[in-house]
């Protein structure tokens, strides 16, 4: 282990000093999420660096837009997702979901899912986004009416998670969960715990950690059983709709049609994996994105005022709020705010790929089997002017798309990115039109990682009526 770095074919890549056994992972887990990658690349004066995983395993980490382009687009067939990453998420879903698959299996499942995400279908979902946004508006209004002052302190993160869980269940699977109205429902709590169970501590990163008889692992197993039962209920309701000739065109229709078709359809296990996977992906990442957006608007009141002015111009009637694609498309400055927030706080700030064959990147020989971390946070912050500054105006003019990839790029690009953007625009514009968001005095947080990067503790903001 001590002489390995001197013999490694990757030794020419700028690298970190490390500890035997734990590599650089102890240091990585101690710091706030995204901090180390930015610091390491700055110190080594390179956007492609070498670091060490457990057991002295060498890995690469990059924030270089040309490397992203090479791995995700130009030579994407040579780079697959990690088996270990698959096993982690598959442990929760029961069968590999689309966002952990690679190669031909990914291509087959994505082709099946694509009809559920065509733009014309997504536009028909806007009323659901709007209805759930109205439900959240009523929830915040109720909190204000029950307050002894003209303000209320709201757990933004928790309420947005309930909204997005409702949205993905309704839009994707025609299932009315109504978790906004029932915050302590079993389904909401089980999904939240499963998301939080993904590698949140140093021990969780150790090999075979999920096999340990810990209280956390036992709770996760119980929650997983509930989610499987929940998914069975969704499928049974779909089958009843089919018998009653009242099917809707949605993601579940695409998945069920594939299962029912002859030939290479989905097995029951694969169907379960896709449904659970889409619920996870659909509610946590979008809720996290909206949480960061409202946090930024609370920290920058002048930008919040500018967004509100634009929303009022597009939706001038205070008593009627009817969204449609054309109106949402007119919210240009809000779109800049959304992009700038995702630049600073990409929902998934780092993901890994593994080379199938030897390659050359930036002049360095990359052997087959090399694991490379594509750090979206570093990509977004190290390749633009004033990368640490929140400045939405930077997106008013055309920018280098190679240095902005909040949803990835190439054949593995997030299939639900347009769905998420429409949902975010609809909900944020509704809330900003009605409420002022401010930081709660004394509230502090740090960035932490699970499936997504999010504030910890759960973000609480002070709201008041406009």
Which residues are documented as binding site for heme?
A: 414
Q: Which long-range contacts (CB under 8 A, 24 or more apart) does 302-305 make?
A: 303/337, 303/390, 303/392, 304/432, 304/436, 304/437
Query: Closest Cα to residue 272, out of 230, 243, 237?
Result: 230
- Is the separation of the CB atoms in 428 and 288 below 8 Å? no
- Is the separation of the CB atoms in 266 and 113 below 8 Å? no
User: What distance in Å separates the CA atoms of residue 276 and residue 96, rounded to the nearest whole number?
Assistant: 10
User: What distance in Å separates the CA atoms of residue 331 and residue 36, rounded to the nearest whole number?
Assistant: 35
Strand spans (E) along 71-219: 79-80, 151-155
User: What distance in Å separates the CA atoms of residue 459 and residue 436, rounded to the nearest whole number?
Assistant: 16
CA dist 287 → 179, 300, 391, 413 (Å):
14, 20, 22, 19
User: What distance in Å separates the CA atoms of residue 132 and residue 38, rounded to the nearest whole number?
Assistant: 37
User: What distance in Å separates the CA atoms of residue 101 and residue 111, rounded to the nearest whole number?
Assistant: 13
Strand spans (E) along 224-318: none
User: What distance in Å separates the CA atoms of residue 271 and residue 136, rounded to the nearest whole number?
Assistant: 31
Q: How many CA atoms lie within 13 A of 450 on its CB side?
A: 16
Binding-site residues, please? 414
Tokens 């030897």 map to which residue?
Answer: 358
Angle at 324 between CA 323 and CA 328, to 5 degrees: 80
- Is the separation of the CB atoms in 154 and 140 below 8 Å? yes
């Amino acid at each position: 282990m001590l002489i390995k770095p001197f013999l490694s074919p990757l030794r020419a890549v700028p690298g970190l000093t490390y500890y035997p056994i734990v590599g650089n992972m102890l240091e990585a887990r101690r710091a706030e999420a995204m901090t180390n990658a930015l610091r390491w690349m700055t110190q080594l004066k390179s956007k492609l660096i070498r670091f060490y995983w457990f057991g002295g395993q060498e890995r690469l980490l990059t924030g270089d837009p040309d490397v992203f382009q090479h791995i995700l687009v130009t030579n994407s067939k040579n780079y697959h997702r990690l088996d270990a990453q698959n096993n982690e998420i598959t442990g929760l879903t029961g069968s590999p979901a689309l966002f952990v698959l690679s190669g031909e299996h990914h291509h087959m499942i994505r082709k099946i899912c694509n009809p559920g995400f065509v733009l014309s279908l997504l536009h028909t979902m806007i009323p659901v986004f709007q209805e759930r946004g109205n439900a959240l508006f009523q929830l915040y209004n109720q909190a204000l009416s029950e307050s002894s002052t003209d303000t209320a302190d709201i757990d933004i993160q928790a309420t947005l998670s309930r909204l997005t869980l409702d949205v993905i269940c309704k839009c994707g699977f025609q299932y009315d969960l109504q978790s906004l109205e029932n915050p302590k429902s079993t389904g909401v709590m089980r999904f939240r715990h499963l998301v939080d169970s993904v590698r949140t501590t140093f021990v969780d990163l150790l090999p075979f950690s999920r096999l340990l008889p810990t209280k956390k692992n036992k709770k996760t197993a119980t929650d997983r059983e509930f989610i499987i039962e929940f998914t069975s209920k969704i499928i049974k309701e779909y089958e009843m709709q089919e018998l009653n000739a009242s099917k809707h065109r949605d993601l579940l229709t695409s998945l069920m049609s594939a299962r029912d078709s002859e030939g290479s359809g989905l097995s029951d296990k694969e169907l379960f994996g896709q449904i659970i996977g889409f619920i996870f992906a659909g509610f946590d990442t979008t809720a996290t994105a909206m949480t960061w957006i409202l946090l930024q608007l609370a920290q920058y009141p002048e930008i919040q005022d500018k967004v509100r002015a634009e929303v009022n111009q597009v939706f001038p009637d205070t008593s009627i709020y009817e969204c449609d694609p054309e109106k949402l498309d007119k919210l240009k400055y809000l779109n800049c705010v959304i992009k700038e927030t995702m630049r600073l706080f990409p929902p998934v700030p780092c993901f890994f790929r593994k080379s199938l064959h030897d390659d050359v990147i930036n002049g360095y020989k990359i052997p087959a089997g090399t694991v490379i971390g594509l750090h979206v946070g570093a990509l977004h912050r190290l390749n633009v002017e004033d990368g640490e500054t929140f400045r939405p105006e930077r997106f008013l003019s055309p920018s280098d798309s190679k240095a902005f990839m909040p949803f990835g790029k190439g054949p593995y690009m997030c299939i639900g990115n347009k769905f998420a953007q429409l949902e975010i625009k609809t909900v944020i514009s509704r809330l900003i039109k009605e409420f002022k968001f401010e930081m709660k005095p004394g509230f502090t947080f740090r960035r932490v990682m699970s499936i997504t990067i999010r504030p910890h503790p759960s973000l609480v903001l002070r709201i008041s009526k406009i």
